[in-house]
Amino acid sequence: MALPAPAQTPSGTRSGTRSALLVLEDGRTFRGESFGAEGETFGEAVFSTGMSGYQETLTDPSYHRQVVVMTAPHVGNTGMNDEDTESSRIWVAGYVVRDPARVPSNWRSVRTLDDDLRDQGVVGISGVDTRALTRHLRERGAMRVGISTTENDPERLLQRVLESGEMAGSNLSEAVSTPEAYVVPAQGERRFTVAALDLGIKSNTPRMLSERGVEVHVLPATTTLEDVRAVAPDGLFFSNGPGDPAATTAQVQLLQDALRAGIPYFGICFGNQLFGRALGFGTYKLKYGHRGINQPVMDRTTGKVEVTAHNHGFAVDAPMEGSTSTEFGDVTVSHVCLNDDVVEGLELRDADGRLTSFSVQYHPEAAAGPHDAAYLFDRFVDLMTERKDA
Ligand SMILES: NC(=O)CC[C@H](N)C(=O)O
């Protein structure tokens, strides 16, 4: 017997009755219910395996132009709070969930996930078999997708999906970067100054540097070497960010100039890919990428395995064994993903074998995520300390 419909929707829950359509670029179609804003959206369909941290995922600028499919079946259970956002807004182009929380419950929750998606105009879909969708993306690879609450015909939506932009070849850094430079002060005594290029930076990165006595000058993506020098930095940092590293040239040149000037460098994710390109390696698109908070990585310099947060669809193509000599020094692959042997870190050493710069493909700032890799911020501080003492 069918249950009687509730007399009214309890406050804070989704209305969720309008139907929504999802069409992948190879024609596979899913039907579900509208979740978040109504309308139509397009992007690259990717899946994230994180069982928590949806607020940090949604607000990570690296997801710009991507439609995120959550493999965790229940999403929104702890609502949205005012502390965990990784930037000023939700960046995902669309959101796909199986079973949204009807009543969020957490002492910090101030809004529902549905409210925030709707208020920020982010189109989503719920009630989708996210296991089937994820398996499809895993087998066929990441691809373009459209979600619509206004179109009922899959063929017509497919046409628009095929007209939408591809991720490969997209340069998106300037679309997400800060328009103006700003400073995150060091906590306690200021020990170092770092110039941090914002290519889509997450709030937790300057926070983790500032906790280590670093004054962080967050600079726009269009920054020149003169702007970097004006900060008189002890180190240069390039953040995570959206888009195809192969479509980014100005920042690669800036990094090469900074390396020639002898400024120690640390890069995260997109910052690892641009470091790879600056050193002369290529980058390539992974079939479906790594997105989640439990990816095993080995630090080959210590042999230790860490459980890490990932969000990348591209990777650096560098030789796993031996070192490669470049005009900047000798490069080795310092970290590797134990799931699929993808390059997860690079290390540059001078002729005396001293570390001069390094980067990782994953997220030591890990918000949300395990904090196994936080030691990398200490490694950057140690590198700047050695430079200062030298
Ligand atoms: N999180 C990131 O920095 C992502 C880097 C790049 N856009 C990729 O998808 O691989």
ipTM: 0.98
Does ligand 1 lie within 6 Å of residue 205's CB atom? no
Does ligand 1 lie within 6 Å of residue 314's CB atom? yes
Same domain, 297 and 380: yes
Domain boundary among 143, 163, 183: 163
pLDDT number for residue 357: 98
Does ligand 1 lie within 6 Å of residue 62's CB atom? yes
Report the distance separating Cα 135 and Cα 71, nearest Å: 10
Query: What's the pLDDT tens digit per position in 102-152?
Result: 999 999 999 999 999 999 999 999 999 999 999 999 999 999 999 999 999
CATH of the domain at 222: 3.40.50.880
pLDDT number for residue 10: 38
Residue 203 covered by a domain: yes
Question: Nearest 10 degrees: CA dihedral of 63, 68, 72, 73?
Answer: 150
Does ligand 1 lie within 6 Å of residue 104's CB atom? no
pLDDT number for residue 3: 46
Same domain, 131 and 186: no
Same domain, 144 and 81: yes
pTM for this structure? 0.95
pLDDT number for residue 375: 96
Q: Is 241 annotated as a binding residue?
A: yes
Same domain, 384 and 283: yes
Cα of 241 from ligand 1 centre, angstroms: 5
For residue 254, what is the enclosing H or E element?
helix 250-260
pLDDT number for residue 5: 44
Same domain, 308 and 263: yes
Report the distance separating Cα 307 and Cα 370, nearest Å: 7
Q: Which residues are CB-neighbours of 110 under 8 A, at least 6 positions away?
A: 79, 80, 81, 82
Residue 40 covered by a domain: yes
- DSSP structural state of residue 103: S
Same domain, 118 and 212: no
Same domain, 141 and 268: no
First and final CA of the chain: distance in angstroms? Answer: 79
CATH of the domain at 152: 3.50.30.20
DSSP result, 261-273: TT--EEEETHHHH
Same domain, 350 and 228: yes
Collapsed DSSP state (helix, strand, coil) of residue 46: strand
Instruction: Determine which one of 269, 312, 344, 347 is catalytic.
Output: 269
- Domain of 212? 173-389
Closest CA to 170 of 246, 223, 276: 246
Residue nearest to atom 5 of ligand 1 (CA): 270
Residue nearest to atom 3 of ligand 1 (CA): 240
Number of domains in the chain: 2
Q: Which residues are CB-neighbours of 362 under 8 A, at least 6 positions away?
A: 268, 269, 290, 295, 297, 308, 309, 310, 312, 335, 344, 373
Report the distance separating Cα 336 and Cα 288, nearest Å: 17
Same domain, 61 and 156: yes
pLDDT number for residue 122: 98
Domain boundary among 109, 129, 163: 163
Residue 8 covered by a domain: no
Report the distance separating Cα 171 and Cα 342, nearest Å: 23
pLDDT number for residue 388: 85
Domain boundary among 121, 140, 163: 163
Same domain, 207 and 325: yes
Residue 44 covered by a domain: yes
Query: pLDDT below 50 — which residues of the chain?
Result: 1-14, 16
pLDDT number for residue 367: 86
Residue 52 tokens, joined: 């928590």
Helices (H) and strands (E) in the chain, counts: 10, 20
Residue 210 covered by a domain: yes
- DSSP structural state of residue 64: B
Q: Is 311 annotated as a binding residue?
A: yes
Does ligand 1 lie within 6 Å of residue 16's CB atom? no
Closest CA to 349 of 362, 333, 361: 333
Cα of 340 from ligand 1 centre, angstroms: 17
Residue 168 covered by a domain: no
pLDDT number for residue 8: 39
